[in-house]
Structure formats: C-alpha cells, structure tokens
Chains A and B, each alone.
Chain A
C-alpha cells in the first residue's frame, strides 16, 4: 500500500512539473495571444489594451498561477480558432481518441504476443525469420505511411471501410467502429511490430532459463511449458513496454487523426499547433502528458498486483 501511496504523491509532483514545462515551452514564443487574436497588422493601442485585459503584462509567474488555477478548477480558457471553451471541447474529443487508442492497443497485443512467442519457440527457424522480419519492417515505416497504404487498400480499392471522418459511438456503434478501424490499425501496426520484437526477446531469455529445463525434464507438455511457465513470466515486462508505448500512441494520434480526418484529441491539438492557438495548445499538451503519465502509473500498479515477487520485496 505504501508503495502505491508513494507513487501517487510523486505523481502529483510530476503533474506540477508537467504544467510548468508546458507553460514554459509555449511562452518562449516571439508573438503572444493578443497578437494572434487581432492579427499582426492591428492598431498598437488596441493591442496594448487587449494585452492589459488578458493580463499579458503581468509577470510570467502570475500568468502561470492564473493558468494552472484555471486548469485545476475546470476553466481551461477559450480556443482562439474554435471560439469555444476548451474544457468541454477537449473532453469530448478525448473520448474519440480513447476509442482508437484502446482499439489499436488491443489489436497490437492480441497479434504481437502469439507472434512473438511463436518466433521465440522456433529460434532461427523460418517461423522466427518470418515473424522477426515482418516486425522489423513494421517498426521501420512511419505510421502515417501505413495509414496511406490502408486507405489505398481498404477504402479506395476494396471499398470496405470509410477513409475519413468520425462517428460518435453513442449514435451508431457499428458505424463508429467502421470509422475507427483504419486509424486504429494504422496506429496499431507499428506498435504491434514493436511488441512482437519485445515479446520475442523476453521469451527467448525466459525459455533459456533453468526452471524451463526443469519443467521439460519433469515431462510437462511443451504447451504447458511455453504458455504456463514461460509466458506467465513474460507478461510483466511485455505489459511494461506496452504501457510505455501509450506515450508513443498519443504522439502518433496527431499524425493519424489528421490523416484520417478523425476529429479526436490529436486532430484538435494539430489544429491548435497549425493556428498557433496558444490556450488550446497549452491545455491539450498538458492533458496528453497527464494522460500518458497516468497510464504509466496504472501499469506500474498493475505490475505490482500481477507479480507477487515485487509485492513481497
């Protein structure tokens, strides 16, 4: 318990640091919000007036205090591009992204673990070569390239799935899944390749250990040895890597959602970045980093629950 409590305390400190870094990065800009609202050709006096109203003349620390206070109380500011309050906008988009992130993580794990085990069980045979080469190719192509290939194949050539757009699952679940499938696959392929490589490496290490030899010598079937004894020990490390990849996924959704016109958080962040919508950039960068950190915390806690060795030590 004290371990988990410790982790939560350190999480709060990290959240504070995340907010400070987000604020610092977005404040090294030459221009400012007032300039973005009124345009570069605007009247200097009106500009100065707006700066005063927005509090942009206050010391940075005071501005930071106001911003973080707003973030904590649910007032995330107003988007300059969408002219809407950011909090409801971002939360709505977050569910859209949650759908493809979960879907891609599921696809990746379901395919990668058996493939990796399969390769590890047949080291240096064709099964290993095939699975490892496919995985190597998978990690070597940018995910938006996979996205383009998927669009060409499943949307343009076969007409099986739509190539762009987002549908709310609460309105039409089937249609929503059809729209989410291609972006989720584009996200998941690279991840799958990475996890296959990881599973293979972890399993290879485990299958060479003494206790596996003992299990075989006891006359246990190969299936029991590999799945019950081997994989049980690989779950932790593979889960950790999968958890770390949540960060990678939340980076990739910016590219993939833009490519598929899937209006989730990545798409929203991209609109903010393109239009230098500072309040929107600050809020979404902060939220994404916080989500990634929470996901990693969750994995750490799960790891303790799954692996008794850590719980006891």
Chain B
C-alpha cells in the first residue's frame, strides 16, 4: 500500500514519525522503566547538568530528568487524549443534531455554544478545575468541557454542509428515518473533519494541560506531568535552565508532531485545503 501524497512530504513524514514515537514512549515507558527510577532522589547530584549518569540532568531533588520526562509522557498523553475524547462524546451529538435539525433547535444550541466560546478555553478549564478541586481526573473534565464548544461548532458546520447534499436528499426521499440518515449518511462523511480536528485539539489539550499544571491547578504531585516539571523548574532557572528545557522540549516535540501530522492528515483527507498551511 502506498502512502497518500500528503504524508510523503518531509512535514508529513516527520509529523507521523514524531506521533508514533511519542505514542510508543507513552505506552512502553511505564512498562520498561521501574516507576521508582523517576522518584529516586540523588541528594549528591541535585540540579546536576547532563552527565553520563543523568543524560538530561537532574531536578532540585536530584531526580533523573530523562526518566521523569519519559514517565510523564503517559500522564500528559492520557489527559489530553481523554479530554479530547470527552469533548467529542459531548460535542458530536450536539453538533450533529444542531446541523441536521436546523431552525429553532440549531439557533438555541448554537447560541449556547457561541456563548461558551466567549469564555477563553484556558479560563474555563482553570475555573472548572479550581471549583472541582485540582487532580488528574478533574483536569480531564476541565479541559474536556472547555474544548467541547469548539468541536460542537465545527461538527455542526460540517453536518449542515453534508445535510444539504443531493444524496442525503435522495436518501430521505427513499424513506430513510432521521436517525438512519444521520448515522449512515451524514456521520461517515464528516468523519474526516472530526479526525483532523481531534488531532489539532489533541495538540491544544497538551498545551492546556501544561498550562493548568504550571499554575498548580492541573495534575498534582506525585503524578508527574510535563507542565508540573516546568512549574518546579521556576525557582531554579538561573542555576539549572535544563530543568525547564527538558520538559519544554517534550511538550514542543509532541505538539509539533501533532500539528504536522494534523496538517498532513487534512491535506490527505480534504483535497480542497491543499497547501492551505
């Protein structure tokens, strides 16, 4: 099988490679690396620069940054993935019904969605997390809810576009029920848009998790996430800038990979947007 052209560009290849590599780390790291390697404190080597013993240096408690960043991958990816999944589970029916039904239903639902879009996503996520009490699961809920209006809006737009296509009209005339029209004829045709949007949302969710944790309103210790590592580095920037650079690079590589992969995916699935970015 040949790769679609969009993935044979250097951007597509790098993006796909990065995404696969990061997913592998997220799945394999916790199986291969004993959990206590990331929490073992080496008091004689606190804030140590990269050495043979600690290839990426250590943090303020002498914990190895390489192991911490590798084991943190799963937390960050899990939170982002679960949050995006949650926003799809809520946003998909909302968007589908709104776009398909049109009229008053559409007006009411989209007015609500537009209002929610007035709240900056990060502010909404921070508020929900602060209100529920910050921990790993509430971080997922906070980001998931904050991202829902975006997905609902995009899915509604796509559903509206597809619902007006002649073949949907034909299927309706043939006597298909509303639910059958939505599930069999509309949903499969807006899947590409949903997949592309999810990839991009995943990148944003990684950034949001990092932001929440950085402010202390996301993942809490002892869970290790990238945002939490950057937060911990704040007081030691002068002496040990690598404590910020290592988790920062992990975030950057992941989001970069997801963005490049998302761009290639969009070019492959939606030829109209060819070369749009």
Contact = CB atoms under 8 A, between A and B. Distances in A.
Interface of A: 13-14, 17-18, 21, 25-26, 28-29, 123, 132, 136-137, 139-142, 144-145, 148, 151-152, 156, 197, 200-201, 204-205, 247-252, 254-255, 258-259, 269-270, 273-274, 276, 281, 285, 288-290, 292-293, 296
A156 B251 contact: no
B251 A136 contact: no
Given A141-B255, A201-B276, A255 B211 contact: yes
A289 B118 contact: yes
Contact of A254 (B210, B215, B251): B215
Contacts of B203: 140
A255 B121 contact: no
A13 B111 contact: yes
Interface stretch (B24-32, B50-58, B126-134): B126-134
Given A14-B118, A25-B128, A247-B118, 8 more contacts: A25-B127, A142-B251, A254-B126, A259-B234, A270-B215, A273-B217, A289-B118, A292-B120
B155 to A, nearest CB: 18
Contacts of B214: 142, 144, 255
A139 B275 CA distance: 18
B169 interface: no
8 contacts: A25-B124, A132-B277, A140-B255, A142-B207, A152-B237, A201-B276, A251-B123, A274-B216
Nearest to A146: B248
A18 B130 contact: no
The listed residue with most B CB atoms (<10 A of its CB), out of A140, A289, A296, is A140
A141 B248 contact: yes
B115 A26 contact: no
Nearest to B210: A142
B50 to A, nearest CB: 17
Contact of A247 (B117, B217, B260): B117
Given A205-B276, A273-B130, A21 B210 contact: no
Nearest to A288: B123
Contact of B259 (A139, A200, A290): A139
B230 A148 contact: yes
Nearest to A295: B118
A139 to B, nearest CB: 7
A247 B217 CA distance: 20
A37 B277 CA distance: 52
Contacts of A137: 252, 256
B119 A276 contact: no
B259 A141 contact: no
Given A276-B130, A289-B119, A148 B248 contact: yes
Given A142-B214, A145-B248, A204 B275 contact: yes
B252 A140 contact: yes
Contacts of A152: 237, 241
Interface in B64-117: 111-112, 114-117
Contacts of A26: 127, 131
B122 interface: yes
A29 B133 CA distance: 9
B224 interface: no
A292 B118 contact: yes
A295 to B, nearest CB: 10
B135 to A, nearest CB: 14
Smallest CB-CB A-B distances: 10 pairs: A251-B120, A251-B122, A140-B255, A273-B130, A140-B256, A17-B115, A293-B118, A289-B118, A145-B248, A201-B276
Contacts of B111: 13-14, 17
B237 A151 contact: yes
Contacts of B114: 14
